[in-house]
Amino acid sequence: MIESTLSIGTSLIVRPSITYPARMSAASAHVRPTIGIAGGIGSGKSTVARTLARLGCEVCISDDAARAVLDAPEVRSAILARVGAHVAAPDGSIDRAALGRAIFADATLRSDVERIMHPRIEARRRAQFAAAPLSTRAFIVDAPLLFEVGLERECDAVIFVDAPREHRLARVRATRGWDDAELARREASQMPLDEKRRRSSDVVENSGDPALLEAIVARTLDAIIARTQAPRPSGAAPA
């Protein structure tokens, strides 16, 4: 699971500012806002991202970018040299589960792996957004630890996906085989959910009803686009 492989403790890194196409000019910044997705593990962030894609947004899923980066020969070599041959799969690729276990238990090792991977993940994100069609309504950043890595600074809005803990536990039990203790352990390594919610501009409640969730996401997207397109008062700072 890439979330356990890449997305732990990334607040240890001071990362350079990223310039996305939505911020290339005052006009484009408000026509195509950059929207981050945050929320607890198992809250349905990926479901919201897929809904936004259906609604005409360009979605960058950081886990997918991380998988592609891990397949690059120079990245494999660098990670094996830093972490050790025990994270190599029989076919020579990186065993993501083994890498996740190694870096979850060692903050210094985690930081070193992130320094290898994050610049390449960011480069893929920039290229994807730059190639998006002009009809794109918004750029979506679906990153497991959006706030922890500072990506919210590159966003015009952040959607916090909220779901009851019992629903989140049921999802991760079914999809990842985690029990209550494992979910608690993973969440303890992240920013508290109340703080993520407080820092977000919009909240989407995911009750588990797909039709209701789609309607809420559509309304939220419309509201964000309207907000970012609204004229600013004279002298107001850019978003």
Cα end-to-end distance, the chain, whole Å:
34
Look at the chain and report how many structural domains it folds into.
2
What pLDDT is recorded for position 103?
Answer: 87
Instruction: Report yes or no on 20 lying in a domain.
Output: no
Report the alpha-carbon angle 150-37-131, nearest 5.
85
Range of the domain at 53: 30-57+138-228
Residue 61, both tokens = 């899923």
How far CA 236 is from CA of 65, 155, 207, 232, 239, in Å, comes to: 35, 17, 37, 6, 9
| pLDDT of residue 20 exceeding 60 | no
In this structure, the answer to whether residues 148 and 36 fall within a common structural domain is: yes
Per residue in 63-88, pLDDT (tens digit) is: 899 999 999 999 999 999 999 999 99
The structure's pTM equals 0.79
In this structure, the answer to whether residues 167 and 125 fall within a common structural domain is: no
- Residue where a domain terminates, one of 94, 110, 135: 135
- Residue where a domain terminates, one of 119, 135, 151: 135
Per residue in 128-149, pLDDT (tens digit) is: 999 999 999 999 999 988 998 8
Instruction: Report yes or no on 93 lying in a domain.
Output: yes
Instruction: Report yes or no on 171 lying in a domain.
Output: yes
> In terms of pLDDT, which residue wins out, 68 or 239?
68
In this structure, the answer to whether residues 35 and 149 fall within a common structural domain is: yes
Instruction: Report yes or no on 238 lying in a domain.
Output: no
Per residue in 152-166, pLDDT (tens digit) is: 999 999 999 999 999
Instruction: Compute the mean pLDDT over every residue in the chain, rounded to the nearest whole number.
Output: 85
Mean pLDDT (whole number) for 211-215: 97
In this structure, the answer to whether residues 77 and 184 fall within a common structural domain is: no
In this structure, the answer to whether residues 216 and 194 fall within a common structural domain is: yes
In this structure, the answer to whether residues 224 and 209 fall within a common structural domain is: yes
